[in-house]
Amino acid sequence: MDWNFIIFSVVKVAVVIGAVLTMVAYAVLAERKISAWIQDRVGPNRCAPPFARYIPFVGTFLTRIGFFQPMADGLKAFLKEDFMPAGVRKVYFWLAPALAIIPAMLVVAVIPFGSQIGAQKMVIADLNVGILYTFGIVSLGVYGIVLAGYAANSKYPFLGGIRSSAQMISYEISMGMSVIPVLLIAGNLNLSRIIGWQADHGWMVIYAPVSFVIFLIAAFAETNRLPFDLPEAETELVGGYHTEYSSMKFALFFLAEYSNMIASSGMMVTLFFGGWTLPFWGLDHAATSLGMGLVQIFVFLAKMLLFMVLFIWVRWMFPRFRYDQLMDLGWRRFVPLALVNILVTAVILWMKS
């Protein structure tokens, strides 16, 4: 038994899950602060533990920017009453929040956040079929939402679950087809090797801009973010599929949404923006030291954060689609466009060969 491999794998899993959950917590804070700036408000700036007042300047500054707010929100989610309505289907009601968050965590497992440190690759599972694995796992995310709508035994959650199943299945098709030109160009399904191809030839967004646009818009639909948040649609469905949820079960759906945003951002960085590489710095400088590895992780996270800000900015700048517009865009616009994009890419590559 290779204990060295097992120990490093456990460490990588713990670090990645810890990093994702921390990013989720502060993505919620970023959402509240950015929305406040857009709407000319202040945002969270009061919450602080008792010891913060004894730290000169720093404690006040961290309080003003809302640094302690995610800690209070997490504590509140644990301490709130876990109320379960009498008419729910209990087994599915408990199972749905877990099914919502697990796929997002599993997708992060194959996203490389650096090349390597010494002999250890900076990815939990470096699969040769990483993209196929990703889309296989992403397709499971809809089950948690559909089960939540069904288990609540209530009209509004049920409508939200139906909307979500149609929406996510529809946009999975165009999202999957948008990646095929990337595979044709790079000639590989391994995410690390796709990044390696971009390090040698340039970012994939230059070679497949249509694929990037389709993938980006489909990512908004897959994560149920505005302007595609029809499964929740508070003005129509109260709260959609999580109307009857409270306490930590309710919080798990929000963890799932922001974890999916992180996973989608990571995939876009990996597939279209060179992962941890920069145009003037490729894999010729593969990390062999801790310092170089940390630089690569910083580059990857910086690109991811730009996409996270884009997700948040779009939510507060664009109105929600009508449901017929949502489905029309997915089936009558993106699916044909993705098919034409595949054909054009294949023809161009054939002519060059």
**pLDDT per position as a tens digit, 203-227:** 999 999 999 999 999 999 888 888 8
Q: 101 CB contacts (<8 Å, ≥6 apart)?
A: 144, 252, 253, 255, 256, 259
Helices (H), ranges, 187-289: 191-201, 204-207, 209-222, 234-237, 247-272
Is the pLDDT confidence value at 283 over 60?
A: no
- What whole-number percentage of the chain has pLDDT above 70? 95
Helix-helix angle 290-315:3-38, to 10 degrees = 40
For 192, counting Cβ atoms within 10 Å of its Cβ (0-12 exposed, 13-18 middle, 19+ buried), the class is buried
Sorting pLDDT into bands at 50, 70 and 90, what band is 88?
confident
Q: What is the mean pLDDT of residues 290-304?
A: 87
b/e map of 31-45 (b: 16 or more CB within 10 Å)? bbbbebeeeeeebbe
Kind and range of the H or E run holding 168: helix 155-186
Q: What is the pLDDT of residues 232-275, one digit of tens each?
A: 766 666 777 778 888 888 888 888 889 999 999 999 999 999 88
pLDDT of 288 strictly over 70: no
**pLDDT, mean over the chain:** 86
pTM over 0.85: yes
Peptide bond into 227 cis (omega under 30): yes
Tell which residue, 259, 232, 226, has the closest CA to residue 245: 232
Contact 184, 271 (CB under 8 A): no
Q: Compute the average pLDDT of residues 112-128.
A: 83
pLDDT score of 101: 86
DSSP state of 238: T
pLDDT of 54-69, one tens digit each? 788 888 888 888 899 9
Using the predicted structure, report yes or no on whether residue 285 has a pLDDT greater than 60: no
User: pLDDT band at residue 282, thresholds of 50, 70 and 90?
Assistant: low
* pLDDT at 284 exceeding the cut of 60: no
